[in-house]
C-alpha cells in the first residue's frame, strides 16, 4: 500500500498535510469510524480521497449537492483518477450501465445523492462492489438540528446493511456540539475517532459595518484591498445590479447565479479564478468546492440566513494564511428584511399540503401515481395559475425537496424534443459526408431509445458531457441537422425541473413530514435570531462570538475584528495635532465632507470622526448646509 504522503505528492503536488489531515487519514486506514469537523478550507476531501486511493476497491461518497459532486469528479478525472457521479439527470438504463462500470471498471470513486440509496438497483449493485470506504460529505445534513437537514440522509444507514464491514468517515465544516452528537448517533458509529479543528482563523478579520450607502462602502473596501474578492448578494437581480455598478466604477468583475448556462458559469468562474476579474458577485449558489487561496475579502451585502452558512461563506477568504476580511454590511432596514425573507415566508404544514396538491394537479398526476416522473417547471406560471405568493411557494417547494417528496432542480438546462425523421440508411449516409456531426449523433442514439419513432426529450448538457463537446456546439449541431431535414427539433430553455420521488397521496404524503416541517421552522427562527445577535453585539470580539456559537470555550480577543479595532483608543497629543494640521490644509482649499477627508488622508475613519468632533467643539470648523466641513 502506498504511503499517504506519496499519494499526496503524486496527485496534489503537496509535500505536507494540513492540520489533522494525516491523523484523520491514519484513523480511516485503520478501519475506524471517523468524524472530521474541519472548518471551510481545512481540506476535508483529501481526508477520504487519499485513504480510498491507498486501498484496493471503490469509495462510495454521499453528497447532497450535484454541483459539488460534479466539481469533485471533474477534479479527480483531471488527476487521472476514475470517478463518476450518479446525479438525477441520468435515466434508469444509464444508472444500470454506470453501476456495472463501478463493479468491473476499476473505478475509485462513486458519488451519489442520499436519495439514490432508496433505489433497490443501487443497493444491489453496491452490495456487489469491492467498497473500501464510505464517505458522508456535508454530514450535518443528517441531523434535524443541522443547518440544512435532509431526511434522505437517514438512508445512509442502509449502507451499514449493504456493506457491514466497511468503515465510514463523516465530514462537515459547520456543526454545533448538538449536531455533532446527532451525526455520530445517526450513522451508528461505535467507538468513533473524533477530530475537531478549532474554528479560529487568526488571519481573518470579521467585520460588521453600518452602511446606508452600501455601494459606496463596497467601493471603499475594494479600493483599499484590490485583491481577489467575493460579494454575496440576495438575488439574481441584485447580483447583476452590483456587477454592473462595479463595472461602471472601473472594477473588473464577474457574476454567478443559478440562472446562467453551464458555459456562462464556466466562463465567469475562469475569469475570476485566473484573476482576469477582481470580483465575483454571486448568490449563495456559488462557493461549494471553490478553493481559491488568494481571496482577500468576502463581503455580504445582505444579512446571511444563519451563522453556519455565513461561517462557510466567510471562510473562503484568507486561505493562503495572509490577512483577509469577512465583511457584513448592514443598515436600518436589514433586520426587518431578513425576517421578511426567512421568517414571514416560512410555509405552514397546511400551505405545503395545498402546494403539493396543486403541483400534482398542474402536472395531471393521478392519485397513487407519479413516482420518478420528471417535468420542466415554469415556476411563475404555476404561482400565477393558483394565485400563490411566490416567496412562500418557493420555500414550500424547497421543503418538499429537502424532505425527498420531490426533487427540485434550479439548474439551467437547454431541453430539446428530437425525432430522427429519416431511415437508418439515410442517416448513416449523411454521417459519412458530415463527419463533424458523427460523434454527437451516435451519442444521442446510444442514450435515447425510440428516437426514430417518436419525439424524445433530449438533455443537451448530458450529451455534451458524454461526447466531451461543449453544449453550445451540441445545440448548433441540432439546429443544423434540422435544417438538413435529418431531425425534427423543438428547442426550449428552462431553469427549473421537478421530479416526483413518491406516488401521489396528497395529505398522507405531507403528514409523514409534518413534524419535520414544524421543527425546521422553529430552527430557522433560532438561526435568524443568532445572526441578529451577532451583527448587533458590538461589545464582544466578533471572532469569539462565532467560536462560542460552535461550542468553543477558550477565547482570546482577535484584535483585528470590527469590535476589537473600534474599542476606545487614546490618541497622543502629537497625533491629534498632526491630524488637525492635515485636515486644516485640505479645508483651506475648499469645504469637504468627512467621506472626502477619509479618502484623501491616511487616517482611520474613526480617528477622523473623533478629531472633527474636537475641532467643532473648539470652533475651528463649522458644518455647511451641504453637510461639509469648512474652516471658520
**CA–CA distance, 434 with 419 (Å, rounded to integer):** 19
Q: Which numeric CATH code is attached to 204-331+537-549?
A: 3.40.50.300
Length of the chain: 632
Cβ count within 10 A of residue 466: 15
The angle subtended at Cα 319 by Cα 238 and Cα 267, nearest 5°, is 45
Q: What is the CATH number of domain 341-411+498-525?
A: 1.10.10
Q: Tell me, what's the pLDDT at 58? A: 96
Please answer whether residues 317 and 295 qualify as being in contact, where contact means their C-beta atoms are separated by less than 8 angstroms.
yes
Contact 478, 418 (CB under 8 A): yes
Domains 4-196 and 573-631 share a fold: no
Cα distance between residue 139 and residue 116, in whole Å: 16
Q: Which residues contact 519 (CB under 8 A, 6 or more apart)?
A: 144
Residues paired with residue 280 on neighbouring β-strands, in sequence order: 230, 254
Q: Exposed/middle/buried for 248, CB within 10 Å: 0-12, 13-18, 19+?
A: exposed
pLDDT at res. 288: 63
Q: Which residues contact 456 (CB under 8 A, 6 or more apart)?
A: 417, 418, 419, 448, 450
Cα–chain center distance at 58: 26
Contact 64, 114 (CB under 8 A): yes
Which pLDDT belongs to residue 600? 86
- For 217, the 3-state DSSP assignment is helix
- Taking the CA atoms of the chain, what radius of gyration do you get in angstroms? 28
CATH pick for 413-494 out of 1.10.3470, 1.10.8, 3.40.30, 1.10.10: 1.10.10
Question: Does the pTM exceed 0.75?
Answer: no
The domain segmentation of the chain, as residue ranges, is 4-196, 204-331+537-549, 341-411+498-525, 413-494, 573-631
The rounded distance, in Å, linking the Cα atoms of 10 and 586 is 59
Residue closest to 256 by CA, chosen among 295, 286, 300, 276:
286
Which string of DSSP letters, residue by residue, matches 517-530?
HHHHHHHHHHHHHH
Burial of 241 (0-12, 13-18, 19+ CB in 10 A): middle
* Distance from C-alpha of 137 to C-alpha of 46, rounded to nearest angstrom: 12
Q: Is 540 helix (H, G, I), strand (E, B) or coil?
A: coil
DSSP track, 3-24: -HHHHHHHHH--SSPPTTHHHH
CA dihedral 71, 155, 377, 138 (to 10 degrees): -40
H or E stretch including 252? none
Cβ(528)–Cβ(305) under 8 Å? yes
Q: Which fold has domain 573-631?
A: Arc Repressor Mutant, subunit A (1.10.10)
The topology under which CATH files domain 4-196 is Rossmann fold (3.40.50)
Per-position DSSP letters for 56-78, written without gaps between them: SSEEEEE-S-HHHHHHHHHHHHH
What CA–CA distance (Å, rounded) separates 458 from 465? 13
Mean pLDDT by 10 residues, the chain (632 residues): 90 91 95 91 89 96 84 91 86 87 93 87 93 94 78 84 93 87 90 90 94 94 95 91 95 88 83 94 78 92 92 90 94 90 91 97 94 86 93 92 84 74 90 88 86 85 81 87 91 77 94 91 92 95 94 87 83 85 90 86 79 89 87 88
CB 134, CB 163: distance < 8 Å: yes
228 with 292: CB under 8 angstroms? yes
CA distance 25 to 358: 49
Amino acid at each position: 500500500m502506498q504511503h499517504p504522503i506519496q499519494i499526496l505528492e503524486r496527485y496534489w503536488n503537496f509535500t505536507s498535510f494540513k492540520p489533522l489531515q494525516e491523523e484523520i487519514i491514519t484513523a480511516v486506514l485503520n478501519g475506524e469510524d471517523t468524524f472530521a469537523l474541519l472548518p471551510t478550507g481545512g481540506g476535508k476531501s483529501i481526508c477520504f480521497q487519499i485513504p480510498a486511493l491507498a486501498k484496493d476497491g471503490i469509495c462510495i461518497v454521499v453528497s447532497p449537492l450535484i454541483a459539488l459532486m460534479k466539481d469533485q469528479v471533474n477534479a479527480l478525472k483531471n488527476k487521472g483518477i476514475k470517478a463518476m457521479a450518479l446525479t438525477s439527470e441520468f435515466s434508469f438504463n444509464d444508472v444500470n450501465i454506470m453501476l456495472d462500470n463501478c463493479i468491473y471498471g476499476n473505478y475509485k470513486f462513486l458519488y451519489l445523492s442520499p436519495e439514490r440509496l432508496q433505489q433497490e438497483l443501487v443497493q444491489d449493485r453496491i452490495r456487489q462492489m469491492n467498497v473500501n470506504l464510505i464517505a458522508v460529505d456535508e454530514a450535518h445534513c443528517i441531523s434535524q438540528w443541522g443547518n440544512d437537514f435532509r431526511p434522505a440522509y437517514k438512508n445512509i444507514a442502509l449502507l451499514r446493511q449493504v456493506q457491514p464491514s466497511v468503515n465510514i468517515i463523516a465530514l462537515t465544516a459547520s456543526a454545533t456540539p448538538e449536531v455533532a452528537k446527532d451525526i455520530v448517533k445517526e450513522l451508528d458509529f461505535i467507538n468513533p475517532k473524533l477530530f475537531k479543528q478549532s474554528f479560529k482563523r487568526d488571519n481573518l478579520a470579521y467585520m460588521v459595518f453600518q452602511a446606508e450607502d452600501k455601494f459606496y462602502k463596497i467601493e471603499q473596501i475594494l479600493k483599499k484591498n484590490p485583491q481577489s474578492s467575493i460579494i454575496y448578494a440576495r438575488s439574481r437581480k441584485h447580483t447583476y445590479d452590483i456587477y454592473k455598478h462595479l463595472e461602471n466604477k472601473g472594477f473588473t468583475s464577474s457574476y454567478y447565479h443559478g440562472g446562467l448556462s453551464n458555459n456562462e458559469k464556466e466562463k465567469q468562474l475562469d475569469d475570476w479564478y485566473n484573476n482576469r476579474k477582481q470580483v465575483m458577485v454571486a448568490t449563495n449558489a456559488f462557493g461549494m468546492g471553490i478553493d481559491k487561496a488568494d481571496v482577500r475579502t468576502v463581503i455580504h451585502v445582505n444579512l446571511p440566513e444563519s451563522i453556519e452558512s455565513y461561517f462557510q461563506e466567510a471562510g473562503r477568504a484568507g486561505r493562503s494564511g495572509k490577512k483577509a476580511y469577512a465583511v457584513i454590511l448592514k443598515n436600518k432596514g436589514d433586520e426587518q428584511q431578513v425576517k421578511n425573507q426567512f421568517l414571514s415566508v416560512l410555509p405552514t404544514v397546511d400551505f405545503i399540503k395545498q402546494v403539493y396538491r396543486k403541483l400534482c394537479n398542474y402536472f395531471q398526476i393521478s392519485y397513487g401515481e407519479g413516482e420518478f416522473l420528471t417535468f420542466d417547471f415554469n415556476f411563475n406560471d404555476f404561482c400565477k395559475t393558483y394565485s400563490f405568493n411566490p416567496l412562500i411557494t418557493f420555500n414550500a417547494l424547497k421543503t418538499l425537496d429537502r424532505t425527498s417528496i420531490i426533487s427540485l432542480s434550479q439548474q439551467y438546462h437547454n431541453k430539446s424534443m428530437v425525432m430522427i425523421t429519416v431511415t437508418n440508411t439515410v442517416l448513416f449516409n449523411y454521417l459519412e459526408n458530415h463527419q463533424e456531426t458523427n460523434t454527437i449523433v451516435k451519442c444521442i442514439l446510444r442514450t435515447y431509445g425510440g428516437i426514430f419513432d417518436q419525439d424524445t426529450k433530449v438533455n443537451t448538457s448530458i450529451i455534451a458531457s458524454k461526447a466531451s463537446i461543449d453544449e453550445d456546439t451540441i445545440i448548433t449541431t441540432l439546429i443544423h441537422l434540422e435544417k438538413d431535414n435529418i431531425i425534427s427539433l423543438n428547442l426550449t430553455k428552462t431553469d427549473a425541473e421537478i421530479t416526483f420521488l413518491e406516488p401521489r397521496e396528497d395529505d398522507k404524503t405531507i403528514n409523514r413530514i409534518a413534524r419535520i416541517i414544524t421543527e425546521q421552522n422553529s430552527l430557522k427562527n433560532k438561526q435568524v435570531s443568532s445572526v441578529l445577535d451577532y451583527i448587533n453585539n458590538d461589545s464582544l470580539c466578533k471572532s469569539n462570538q462565532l467560536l462560542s456559537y460552535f461550542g468553543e470555550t477558550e477565547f482570546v480577543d482577535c484584535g483585528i475584528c470590527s469590535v476589537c479595532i473600534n474599542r476606545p483608543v487614546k490618541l497622543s497629543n502629537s497625533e491629534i495635532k498632526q491630524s488637525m494640521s492635515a485636515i486644516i490644509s485640505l479645508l483651506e482649499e475648499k469645504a469637504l465632507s468627512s467621506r472626502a477627508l477619509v479618502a484623501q488622508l491616511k487616517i482611520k475613519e474613526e480617528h477622523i470622526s473623533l478629531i472633527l468632533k474636537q475641532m467643532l467643539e473648539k470652533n475651528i470648523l463649522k458644518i455647511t448646509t451641504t453637510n461639509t466641513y469648512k474652516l471658520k
